[in-house]
Amino acid sequence: MLKQAQQFTHWMRHDALPCFLQQGVVNRDGEQCFAETVPVAPGIIRARVQTRQLYVFAHATRIGWIAAGDTINRIMETGLQHFHNAQGAFYFSDGSDSTAGKLNTYEQAFALLAFSELWALTGDIKIRQRAERLHDWMQQHLTLEEGGYALNTERPTLLSQNPHMHLFEAMLSWWAATGDARWEQEAHRLFRLFTSRFFSQQQRCLVEFFASGWRPDLPESRHIDPGHHHEWTWLLHAYEKMSGINTLEWRTALQHFIAGCGDNAQTGAVMNEINLDKSRHRAASRLWCQTERIKADVVNCLTVGQAALPTLEQHIADMLRLYIENETAGLYCDEISETGERIKAASPASTLYHLYVASRQVGEVLQKFNVGRS
């Protein structure tokens, strides 16, 4: 029963995590940080790689899947300083081009997510204070009069739901870890922003891009991301469990919209983007989109029961077959073409976060249905 699910969690614990801990750390100016890819390649390293990997390895260390405490401490003490300014706000990358120094909401969201798990692991009050200062900085430099946050401190007119989705995830993590009103209230604000702005009542789907005032009238507003429909489904369920607020209406609508149009019929994989009329826009398929479908499947298993297990098992089997089987142990293909060919490239470290969280959720299903775990 659930052999593919067991194989996935075993691969994560025994192959992927050790691989990225052993091969995915590099020295920059004599100090350690997480590498952008494995195998390591020259080039910039993004701040989100540091924070995502810190989140993954802190959580995995806390639950006993790996012992990464020494690496975490070294990167927190020295390597991370290359990725933030004196106020603790995170840059885009350590590069030297015009984008490197941007202070994006997206980067701050993942820093807050990482800090939540580092706090849960260590109980270090300095980490908690650091998160609170960063959250305060966001209120001062990134908030919008119309609600939510600008893309970055330059305040472009283009608005995006995506950073808010990950900030919502961070708030839920901090709320669960501390019970503090600061994080709970921000989670409620972001949920209201989802229901009033990001979710189109007319189209019954998630809108990605907006003009000022959260107006969904840009050409980009018609580009729909199936993976984010799955991701919000999972987050809304997590919010419901914590808040007691029923989110079934939105979860059902998100899944209904992409049913039959979000997957590539030829490969069975979730596509990168579709159009509002449900036609294809970018029919290739990133690996992270598959992990989010699995997380939505987990929600279905936890709410519907055993009848949902075969779908979860099939989607895990598809992901393993399309992206992981026959790759070097612990590594993965990050994207397949619309016809199913693997696009050859080093494995991006940033995708490990998606895989790890999905494996963690699959582990909950294995536990609920009393299936042997690795």
Q: How confident is the model at residue 371 (pLDDT cuts 50, 70, 90)?
A: confident
- AA letter at 214: W
- Compute and round to an integer the Cα radius of gyration of the chain: 20
Q: How confident is the model at residue 93 (pLDDT cuts 50, 70, 90)?
A: very high
Report the pLDDT averaged over residues 110-122.
Answer: 99
The encoded tokens of residue 204 equal: 């019954």
Report the pLDDT averaged over residues 134-156.
Answer: 98
Q: How confident is the model at residue 273 (pLDDT cuts 50, 70, 90)?
A: very high
233 closest CA partner among 215, 247, 219: 247
Structural domains of the chain in order of their starting residue, each with its CATH number:
3-368 (1.50.10.10)
pLDDT tens-place string over residues 38-82:
999 999 999 999 999 999 999 999 999 999 999 999 999 999 999
On the question of pLDDT at 171 being above 60, the answer is yes
CB 362 within 8 A of CB 319: no
| pLDDT given at position 28 | 86
60 closest CA partner among 364, 359, 334, 281: 359
Among the ranges given (25-34, 66-75, 171-180, 305-314), the one the predictor scored with the smallest mean pLDDT = 25-34
